[in-house]
Chains A and B, each alone.
Chain A
Amino acid sequence: DSGVTQTPKHLITATGQRVTLRCSPRSGDLSVYWYQQSLDQGLQFLIQYYNGEERAKGNILERFSAQQFPDLHSELNLSSLELGDSALYFCASSVGTGVHGYTFGSGTRLTVV
Chain B
Amino acid sequence: AQKITQTQPGMFVQEKEAVTLDCTYDTSDQSYGLFWYKQPSSGEMIFLIYQGSYDEQNATEGRYSLNFQKARKSANLVISASQLGDSAMYFCAMREAFSSGSARQLTFGSGTQLTVLP
Contacts and interface: CB of A to CB of B under 8 A. Distances in A.
Interface of A: 2, 30-31, 33, 35, 42-43, 45, 48, 50-51, 55-56, 58, 88, 90, 92, 94-104, 106-107, 109
A contact face: mostly helix, strand, loop, or mixed: strand
Contacts, number: 69
Contacts of B111: 42-43
Contacts of A51: 102
Contacts of A103: 47
B108 A43 contact: yes
Given A31-B103, A43-B111, 19 more contacts: A2-B44, A35-B108, A42-B108, A43-B108, A45-B107, A48-B104, A55-B102, A56-B104, A56-B105, A58-B105, A88-B43, A92-B45, A94-B103, A95-B103, A96-B102, A99-B50, A100-B50, A107-B45, A109-B43
B35 interface: yes
Interface in B75-118: 91, 95, 98-111
Interface residues of B, number: 25
Interface of B: 33, 35, 37, 43-45, 47, 50, 52, 91, 95, 98-111
Contacts of B91: 43
B106 A45 contact: yes
B45 A90 contact: yes
B45 A99 contact: no
4 closest Cβ pairs, A-B complex: A104-B45, A43-B108, A100-B50, A50-B102
26 contacts: A30-B102, A35-B108, A42-B110, A43-B91, A45-B105, A45-B107, A48-B102, A56-B99, A56-B104, A56-B105, A58-B105, A88-B43, A90-B45, A95-B103, A96-B101, A96-B102, A97-B98, A97-B103, A98-B103, A100-B35, A100-B50, A100-B95, A104-B45, A106-B44, A107-B43, A107-B44
